[in-house]
Amino acid sequence: MSRKKPIELPSIAELEAEISRRKHRQTQHYLLRNAVYALITVAALTALVSVIFIPVLRTYGNSMAPTIVEGDIVAVIKSDEAEIGDVIAFKYNNKNFIKRVIALGGSLVDIDENGNVLVDGQLLPEPYLEEKSFGNGDVEFPFQVPDGQYFVLGDNRITSADSRNSIMGCVSPEDMMGRVLFCVWPFDRFGTIH
């Protein structure tokens, strides 16, 4: 017949240490769970704000170079209004485009053979251009911009498909996503867009 060992009861100090360890573990789980909930909430709110108020777009192509180049990620402030010189994002054929507003509705746009742009007879200063070009559009100049619309051009005039082509034409406020305000990626190009 085998003898049973007597059960050893833990000491008060051991019980207090175990209780303290379990409370510490519960506190860690509580803090971790709340941190995860907070991160999920912040991510959801950030996504909501970016979709509703400040969409973020990745650029494809170099029609806006050197201002915006392929792969840049830009933030857009939702708006259907723009001024001359603003860089805007808009939808055309279910695709996103980014171009610069050159003239507003009612203005007369002319582009000479050297690529100089005149709006209502005034030469448009364009410090953002590396090279001027007439381009390959089919629009006849001088061109009257329809009321309520925007005449847009890419900063890389040689390759840009823009309002110089009757297929794309001018941009209406209904097609605008908003004004492109700054580049958020890559970090070496981070900053406001002029």
In the predicted model, what is the mean pLDDT of residues 48-77?
Answer: 83
Number of domains in the chain: 2
48 shares a domain with 60: no
User: Which domain does 33 fall in, by range?
Assistant: 11-52
Predicted confidence at residue 157, as pLDDT, reads 93
179 shares a domain with 88: yes
Share of the chain above pLDDT 90, in %: 51
30 shares a domain with 68: no
Does a structural domain hold residue 5?
no
Does a structural domain hold residue 164?
yes
Indicate whether 29 pLDDT > 60. Answer: yes
Predicted confidence at residue 51, as pLDDT, reads 60
184 shares a domain with 105: yes
Q: Identify which has the larger pLDDT, 49 or 142.
A: 142
Amino acid identity for residue 32 in this structure: L
Indicate whether 50 pLDDT > 70. Answer: no
**Please, what is the average pLDDT of the chain?**
88
- % helix / strand / coil in the chain, to the nearest 5? 25, 25, 50
132 shares a domain with 86: yes
Query: Is-above-0.75 flag for pTM?
Result: no
Q: How many C-beta atoms lie closer than 10 Å to residue 193's C-beta?
A: 20
In the predicted model, what is the mean pLDDT of residues 87-96?
Answer: 93
Indicate whether 187 pLDDT > 80. Answer: yes
Residues found in the chain: 194
Indicate whether 169 pLDDT > 80. Answer: yes
> Confidence band (pLDDT; 50, 70, 90) for 52?
low
In the predicted model, what is the mean pLDDT of residues 151-173?
Answer: 93
Which residues are identified as catalytic?
63, 99
Does a structural domain hold residue 3?
no
Predicted confidence at residue 186, as pLDDT, reads 86
62 shares a domain with 15: no
Assign 3-class secondary structure to 27-91. HHHHHHHHHHHHHHHHHHHHHHHHHHCCCEEECCCCCCCCCCCCCCEEEEEECCCCCCCCEEEEE
